[in-house]
């Protein structure tokens, strides 16, 4: 592999440029009009213009991405996350034109990316999935399914995609009628597929996901788990590795289930298997597979010492994994805070603009993945995340302390960010002393914190 087209932007594009450099591979960055002077564009070996700033006319266009790769004579395309990263039509277009797609093959992506198909595979393997339904296309189907399950609260979920789109908690029959059409329409707009299904809603849950890496030689390894329970409206704000405060036998079952599912799907590449851990029943259920690199992959890299993106590049070239399961030893604790350009006092409203001053913290155990610099423009067309601040220490307590000090040193002027919220989280006694559930931030922390800052 000589040359890779990076079909993404922002911090993940910078991250892939770095991995290409480390592997001695030339990086070519696909850039929309507003990203021509981005940090990733400055760091890449070459750039190729792919169209106007709106994502639908650039980063979400399979034709433009493939044309850019062919124009630059690239051997492969790395999709990063989001955008086209889980689109089988891009994978198929790559195969048609002799371009290596850095990710799973199209058929594997279909089996993994469709939540219902992945759920059926998990069921066949004996992995807990909880009570649930097949795909539903009408409100009448949903009402009949809810009556059959009779296990409220339930959760309406989109079969395609993720990020909380199309998800709604259903507490009674009236809620099904009230929310089905909205959830289905939201899924249709976001993913081009309005198929919805129902599953039992775990009221007191922790969101635990397992990083898996698989090569084309049949080797599948997990790199431990991450706890992503600190979230708002199904959007993660803080991620940690490993998950603390859970029985070791439960963690082993979760990790083994992820590996078994990856093998059952014939998975190749880096991916994530997500679970909900029921803290009342001390059990877990399978959620979904993300067939790509995750936003939160750095915390796993920090505790495992394995560069996941470089491993992706090697797997795509047909190499076996550079390690075995026995080589994976988790060391210490890592925390990641997503620094978004948002007004946290105004319902987390995205605030694009120009960063007039950027100072990143430095020190042992501190890592920052970002595209920010003095004068960088945050365009209004894309996700509001501008950086990921990651710390690593020997214990969760010390990692929280290090993150608190790193946040104090972070300086971002010109746009509001979520950094003050993260600082408050690190200082919160409940967050410090006990791993939280997925509803804790919204139900307990945010109401009191917003009252203080408003």
**Burial of 73 per CB tally in 10 Å (0-12, 13-18, 19+):** exposed
| pLDDT over 70 at 382, yes or no | yes
Q: What is the pLDDT of residues 216-253, one digit of tens each?
A: 999 999 999 999 999 998 899 999 999 999 999 999 99
Which residues face 231 on adjacent strands?
236
Query: Which CATH fold would you assign to the domain 129-200?
Result: Dna Ligase; domain 1 (3.30.1490)
Report residue 41's pLDDT band, with 50, 70 and 90 as the boundaries.
Answer: very high
Active site residue 292: yes
Q: Tell me whether the omega of the peptide bond preceding residue 242 falls within 30 degrees of 0, making it cis.
A: yes
Choose the CATH number for 3-102 among 3.40.1710.10, 3.40.50.300, 2.30.38.10, 3.40.50.20: 3.40.50.20
Q: Domains of the chain: which residue ranges?
A: 3-102, 129-200, 205-453
Lowest-pLDDT range, 135-149, 199-213, 364-378? Answer: 135-149
Q: What is the pLDDT of residues 87-131, one digit of tens each?
A: 999 999 999 999 999 999 999 999 887 777 888 899 899 998 876
Task: Report the CATH architecture of 205-453.
Answer: 2-Layer Sandwich (3.30)
| pLDDT over 70 at 162, yes or no | no
> In the chain, what percentage of residues exceed pLDDT 90?
76
Q: Tell me whether strands 385-393 and 366-370 are parallel, antiparallel or unpaired.
A: antiparallel
**Burial of 11 per CB tally in 10 Å (0-12, 13-18, 19+):** buried
Mean pLDDT of 36-63: 97
- Fold match between domain 3-102 and domain 129-200: no
| pLDDT over 80 at 352, yes or no | yes
Q: Are the C-beta atoms of 267 and 108 separated by less than 8 Å?
A: yes
Q: Between 175 and 9, name the one with better pLDDT.
A: 9
* Rounded Cα–Cα distance for residues 83 and 111 (Å): 19
Could you say which of 9, 292, 338, 367 is catalytic? 292
Which residues face 26 on adjacent strands?
3
pLDDT of residue 161: 61
Report residue 195's pLDDT band, with 50, 70 and 90 as the boundaries.
Answer: confident
At how many degrees (to 10) do helices 446-453 and 419-427 cross?
A: 120
| Tokens standing for residue 135 | 């795909």
pLDDT of residue 224: 98
Residue 34's contacts (CB-CB under 8 Å, 6 or more residues apart) are 53, 377, 379, 381
Residue 212's contacts (CB-CB under 8 Å, 6 or more residues apart) are 220, 221, 222, 223, 258, 259, 262, 267, 270, 271, 272, 273
Give pTM, 2 decimals: 0.91
pLDDT of residue 318: 97
Q: What is the pLDDT of residues 422-435, one digit of tens each?
A: 999 999 999 999 88
Q: Tell me whether the omega of the peptide bond preceding residue 153 falls within 30 degrees of 0, making it cis.
A: yes
């Amino acid at each position: 592999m000589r040359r890779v087209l990076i079909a993404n932007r922002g911090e993940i594009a910078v991250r892939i440029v770095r991995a290409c450099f480390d592997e001695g591979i030339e990086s070519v960055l696909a850039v929309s009009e507003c990203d021509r002077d981005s940090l990733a564009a400055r760091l890449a070996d070459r750039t190729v213009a792919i169209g106007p700033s709106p994502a639908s006319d650039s980063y979400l266009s399979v034709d433009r991405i493939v044309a850019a790769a062919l124009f630059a004579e690239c051997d492969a395309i790395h999709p990063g996350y989001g955008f086209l990263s889980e689109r089988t039509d891009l994978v198929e277009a790559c195969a048609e034109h002799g371009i290596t797609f850095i990710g799973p093959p199209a058929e594997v992506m279909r089996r993994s990316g469709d939540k219902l198909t992945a759920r059926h595979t998990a069921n066949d393997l004996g992995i807990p999935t909880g009570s649930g339904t097949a795909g539903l296309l009408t409100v009448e189907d949903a009402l009949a399914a809810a009556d059959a399950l009779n296990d409220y609260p339930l959760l309406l979920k989109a079969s395609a995609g993720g990020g909380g789109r199309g998800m709604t908690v259903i507490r009674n029959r009236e809620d099904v009628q009230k929310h089905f059409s909205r959830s289905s329409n939201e899924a249709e707009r976001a993913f081009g597929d309005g198929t919805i299904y129902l599953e039992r809603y775990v009221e007191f849950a922790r969101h635990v996901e397992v990083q898996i890496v698989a090569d084309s030689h049949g080797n599948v390894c997990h790199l431990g788990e991450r706890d992503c329970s600190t979230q708002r409206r199904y959007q993660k704000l803080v991620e940690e590795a490993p998950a603390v405060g859970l029985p070791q036998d439960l963690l082993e079952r979760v990790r083994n289930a992820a590996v078994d599912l990856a093998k059952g799907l014939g998975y190749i590449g880096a991916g994530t298997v997500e679970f909900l851990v029921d803290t009342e029943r001390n059990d877990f259920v399978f959620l979904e597979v993300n067939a790509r690199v995750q936003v939160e992959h750095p915390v796993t890299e920090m505790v495992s010492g394995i560069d996941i993106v470089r491993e992706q590049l090697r797997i795509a070239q047909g190499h076996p994994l550079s390690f075995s399961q026995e080589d994976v030893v988790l060391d210490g604790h890592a925390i990641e805070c997503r620094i978004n350009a948002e007004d946290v006092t105004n319902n987390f409203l995205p605030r694009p603009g120009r960063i007039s001053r950027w100072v990143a913290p430095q020190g042992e155990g501190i890592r920052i993945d970002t595209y920010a610099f003095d004068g960088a423009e945050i365009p209004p067309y894309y996700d509001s995340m501008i950086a990921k601040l990651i710390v690593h220490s020997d214990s969760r307590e010390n990692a929280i302390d290090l993150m608190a000090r790193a946040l104090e040193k972070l300086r971002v002027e010109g746009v509001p960010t979520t950094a003050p919220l993260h600082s408050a989280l690190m200082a919160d006694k409940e967050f410090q002393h006990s791993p939280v559930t997925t509803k804790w931030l919204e139900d307990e922390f945010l109401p009191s914190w917003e009252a203080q800052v408003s």
